[in-house]
Amino acid sequence: MTGCNGQAEEPDPQAVTLRQLIASGLLPLGPFAVRGPLHRIAARYAWALPATAVVGFLASLFETIGVGLLIPLVGLFLGDNAPIGMPAPLGSVADAATSMGPHARFLLLGGTILLLFLLKSALQIANAFMIEAVTGRVGHDIRNALAERLLGQEYAFFLRQDEARLVDTIARASWSAADSMRWFLQQLPAGVGIVVIVGFLAWIDWRLTAMAIAGGGLIFLLLRARAPQLRAASRLVRERNQQLGARMLTIIRGIRPITVFGQQRREATLFDEASETVRAVTLETGKLKATTGPVTELLIVVLFIALLAASFELGLAIATVTAFLVILTRAQPHARTIAEAHAGIAAVRGSVQEVAWLLEQDTPAHKEDGLPVPAGAAGKAIRFEGVTYAYPNASVALHDAGFAIKPGLATALIGRSGAGKSTVVAIVCGLLQPSSGRVMLGDTPLADVDAQAWRTRLAVAGQDLFLTAGTVRENIVYGTPDATEEDVLAAADAAGASEFIARLPEGYDTQVGPNGLNLSEGQKQRLGLARALIRQPDWLILDEATSAVDAMTEREIVDLLTERRFFRSAIVISHRRSTLAACEDGIVLAHGRVVEAGPLRDLAYFATMGDEA
């Protein structure tokens, strides 16, 4: 931290200690009390605890004094002097004004009360702004932490997880987790306010105060008994929202087959059923939360009646009882705030647990000391030696596969759908690690090479490509942000994309829409190919990169494979014999096993392929 003079300021030892205590878990932090990533995020805002407590203390102090002064103010209308028997802290204020005339005393007391309530309101507004600011920052930090945790995961993590669960955690649960911090912070000034009020009440009459504390404790225990119901309802809300999210993803991602097969009504019915279950469980949770405030008020009314009865039995003066009950009424909003915040925290407990679950997922230990890409890697073969890979559902995609992908050539990976071709590509890219066996880059195990550095030597284009919601130009340079305009034009021309880009409304500045929504499938494939070519990789990987292009564009891509102007070696997956014809070598896979490998023209499988195998 830097001061006004530019010199580094020493941190406040007390503030550091408080933050360290919170981060260590010695001081609980409401919904984030369990030590972990969420607790560490909340600990960054440790200063908010004493800040909201102090501001809440001052606001409650001013309010309580102001309310208390209403008693002597009313007493002035009953006679020239303060009524005998008025509690000492309040009667002394009235006594101080006895030398003044009635109007002067009214103005003094009325003006003081108004000033106190103005100060109280200003402090409450400041506290509300501070709590909202902290809540917003906590939510921002949670969402960033979730994004970083997801981006740090290996590709295999996403194969194991329910996509709807991940989406729900980021899109909904992260906001609920931030809300729980808001409710926790709102409890602090409310709790401090009750302490201030109890102090004043004890000053008036300690016996009634003891009864009020006992009654308040009983009310708290009764309300706390509802927490298990709210937590159970919260878990149901979380589960039903994930199911609803899955239906949403189905509609968004499957709109083409849904429309082609006329299944809109079926999907609408399924969505309605999922939405109805969310509505039902949310309603039950809402009912539990909605009754918290009224039940709290009812119990407080019962407490008031009990205190009145006790006052009668104790023979207390009317002024004392009136002052006590008037000040006690100011505890009611604080008690309701605490009760509703407590219920709110319990209601989103399931969401907080989901966020904590995702943040606690281990990220792979990226090799800081990973080997550099071997010198002359572009001229080294990629060898699979007894490689087996099984997906999380236990299906075996590769079984004891052994083959070599030679440098300087275009190698075809051939086989029917599900043969294991895309798994080979994922392993080459370092997205998946073999269950057994190893992959070698020359004489170096690929697993020992720095994965990020290795991927800079690769480029992938295919039918399952991802386009960002940006311009055509931004998508082409996505993996090569320092590319020049000349590089962009050359890559687009080589990919057969320059002609259709020229016809777009704004050319290279045209927005492609989310995942290329504004482009045809063939245009998206050519754009993806341009993005791969602009990197000028050592290894170009084409995974069904011509499945949606016309014959003329395919011819251009075949010529590109033959000329190799933008890359050194290529791995090509295609069901089109005409596309594979540009390759020199071929590897045939069937059910995860290598059945043929060698020069493409010598492979029996290639000889029997049609134009669409």
Residues 338-367 pLDDT 10s: 888 888 888 888 888 889 899 988 876 555
Residues 498-517 pLDDT 10s: 999 999 999 999 998 877 77
Do 323 and 466 lie in one domain? The reply is: no
Task: With CA atoms as reference, report the closest residue to 193 among 333, 56, 62, 337.
Answer: 56
Task: With CA atoms as reference, report the closest residue to 572 among 453, 409, 433.
Answer: 409
Q: What are the backbone dihedrals phi and psi of residue 161, each rounded to the nearest 5 degrees, phi first?
A: -95, 155
Do 345 and 450 lie in one domain? The reply is: no
Report the range of poorest mean pLDDT among 12-21, 452-461, 477-486, 548-557: 12-21
Do 300 and 343 lie in one domain? The reply is: yes
Report the CATH number at residue 414. Answer: 3.40.50.300
Report the CATH number at residue 205. Answer: 1.20.1560.10
- Cβ-in-10-Å burial (0-12, 13-18, 19+) of 308 comes to middle
Angle (nearest 5°) at CA 223 between 217 and 229? 150
Q: What are the backbone dihedrals phi and psi of residue 83, each rounded to the nearest 5 degrees, phi first?
A: -65, 140
- pLDDT band at residue 57 using 50, 70 and 90 as cut-offs: very high
* Cβ atoms of residues 548 and 525 within 8 Å: yes
Do 578 and 501 lie in one domain? The reply is: yes
Do 351 and 386 lie in one domain? The reply is: no
Structure tokens at 97: 């004004």
Using the 3D structure, point to which of 327, 359, 391 is the last residue of a domain.
359
> What's the half-sphere exposure (Cβ side, CA atoms, 13 Å) at 9?
9
- CA-only gyration radius of the chain, Å: 35
Residues 159-208 pLDDT 10s: 888 888 888 888 888 888 889 889 899 999 999 999 998 888 888 888 88
Residue 176 lies in a domain: yes
Do 520 and 559 lie in one domain? The reply is: yes
Q: What is the C-alpha separation between 587 and 605, in angstroms, rounded?
A: 10
Do 339 and 429 lie in one domain? The reply is: no
* Cβ atoms of residues 351 and 177 within 8 Å: yes
Using the 3D structure, point to which of 333, 359, 385 is the last residue of a domain.
359
Do 27 and 124 lie in one domain? The reply is: yes
Do 151 and 229 lie in one domain? The reply is: yes
* Cβ atoms of residues 576 and 612 within 8 Å: yes
Residue 467 lies in a domain: yes
- pLDDT band at residue 27 using 50, 70 and 90 as cut-offs: very low
- pLDDT band at residue 34 using 50, 70 and 90 as cut-offs: low
Torsion, Cα 577 581 587 588, to 10 degrees, reads: 20
Angle (nearest 5°) at CA 34 between 32 and 39? 45
Residue 225 lies in a domain: yes
Residue 230 lies in a domain: yes
- Domains in the chain: how many in total? 2
Using the 3D structure, point to which of 315, 332, 359 is the last residue of a domain.
359
Residue 446 lies in a domain: yes
Residue 94's pLDDT is: 58
Q: What is the C-alpha separation between 515 and 463, in angstroms, rounded?
A: 12
* Residue 21 clears pLDDT 60, i.e. is over it: no
Return the amino acid letter for 295: V
Residue 597's pLDDT is: 94
Structure tokens at 456: 């800079």
Residue 372 lies in a domain: no
Do 423 and 300 lie in one domain? The reply is: no
Cα-to-chain-centroid distance, residue 176: 10
Q: What is the C-alpha separation between 529 and 463, in angstroms, rounded?
A: 10
Helix (H) or strand (E) holding 386: strand 382-390
Range of the domain at 260: 13-359
Residue 24's pLDDT is: 42
* Cβ atoms of residues 382 and 440 within 8 Å: yes
* Cβ atoms of residues 571 and 541 within 8 Å: yes
Residues in the chain: 613
* Residue 308 clears pLDDT 70, i.e. is over it: yes
Indicate the angle between helix axes 331-347 and 227-253, nearest 10 degrees: 50
First to last CA, the chain: 65
* Cβ atoms of residues 63 and 160 within 8 Å: no
Do 344 and 443 lie in one domain? The reply is: no
The residues with which 2 forms a beta bridge, in sequence order, are 8
Do 393 and 486 lie in one domain? The reply is: yes
Residue 72's pLDDT is: 67
Residue 385 lies in a domain: yes
Residue 87's pLDDT is: 53
Residues 546-562 pLDDT 10s: 665 656 667 777 778 87
- DSSP at 8: B
